[in-house]
Amino acid sequence: YNQELQLSEKREIISQLAASVAHEVRNPLQVTRGFLQLLEEKNTDDLKRANYLDMAIKELDRASTIITNFLTYAKPQLEDTKVLNLSEELKHVENVIVPLANLHGGVINIDIPDHLHVYGNSSKLKQAFINLIKNSIEALMRGGNIRLWAYGHKGDVIIHIADDGEGMEADVLARIGQPYFTSKPKGTGLGLMVTYRIIEALQGSIVFKSEKGIGTEAIIRLPATAIEENGE
Ligand code: ADP
Ligand code: MG
């Protein structure tokens, strides 16, 4: 359908999101406040203290995620863009994500050749991948595997992210990426919305394949950028 319509739909989503972000962020802030108050109490043992602190930090992280996702949706466009080496970008992503995977008993296997380059904003690109891989990790049931691999194909770079997590029913698969659609008790339903938006701003696309009980695979296509033989 036409671009004008798409634009006005996006503006509509942004204004709805802006209104609800305030509300969404207030929750974790209030929960954090509650935990900090509990810390003030005199006869709280160390174990409980550590637990309250941990939960307070998690809630603040959640508030921060909601805000980051909102800002990216509102402004996904590519300031500070340059030629990015995909394998280097994904190494940074790996550093952030491996501790989380370990926490869920998951193993991540990343196999990205050195010669693939795309053009874009480094932190936005990483955010798109972190949101995708986080979902894979969260889908793992008592451990499992996540595999990332990539190759060049007809002027594009193709990246696969496959997990053997819980997978999705067709009705869930049809709704992912819609603002606030989540099947998780503590989900935000903003991660994929933002990922789609970032990939779209990069002139790329994503498709998902998923089967309940088997796993999920995201296939991301981005335009490849040629880099000069003598460096950048
Ligand atoms: P959130 O993670 O906060 O729920 P997302 O936008 O990141 O929001 O994801 C939306 C929903 O898509 C998830 O709640 C989940 O139901 C589904 N989903 C996304 N990725 C996967 C995956 N790899 N495996 C299973 N379900 C997934
Ligand atoms: Mg998510």
Atom of ligand 1 nearest to the CA of 187: 3
Over the chain, what is the mean pLDDT? 89
Residue in 169, 146, 172 with CA at minimum distance from that of residue 159: 146
Decide whether any atom of ligand 1 lies within 6 Å of the 208 Cβ. Answer: no
* pTM assigned to the model: 0.80
Residue 232 has pLDDT above 50, yes or no: no
pLDDT band for 126, please (50, 70, 90 cuts).
very high
Would you say 165 and 151 are in contact if contact means Cβ atoms under 8 Å apart? Answer: no
Ligand 1 pocket test, pick from 68, 141, 192, 212 with the greatest ligand atom count within 8 Å of Cβ, gives 192
Residue 193 has pLDDT above 60, yes or no: yes
Residue 148 has pLDDT above 80, yes or no: yes
Atom of ligand 1 nearest to the CA of 218: 23
* The two structure tokens encoding residue 205: 């696309």
User: Minimum-distance ligand to the CA of 187?
Assistant: 1
How far apart, in whole angstroms, are the C-alpha atoms of residue 115 and residue 189?
A: 34
> Which residue, judged by its Cα, is nearest atom 21 of ligand 1?
135
Would you say 165 and 144 are in contact if contact means Cβ atoms under 8 Å apart? Answer: yes
Ligand 1 pocket test, pick from 182, 199, 210, 211 with the greatest ligand atom count within 8 Å of Cβ, gives 182
Q: State residue 167's pLDDT score.
A: 97
Task: Return phi, psi of residue 77, to 5°.
Answer: -70, 165
> Which residue, judged by its Cα, is nearest atom 19 of ligand 1?
135
- State percent of the chain over pLDDT 70: 94
- Write out pLDDT tens, residues 25-63: 888 899 999 999 998 888 888 999 999 999 999 999 889
Q: Which residue has the higher pLDDT, 65 or 108?
A: 108
Neighbouring-strand partners of residue 120: 82
Lowest mean pLDDT, pick from 102-111, 150-159, 187-196, 207-216:
187-196
ipTM of the modeled complex? 0.99
* The two structure tokens encoding residue 169: 């029913």
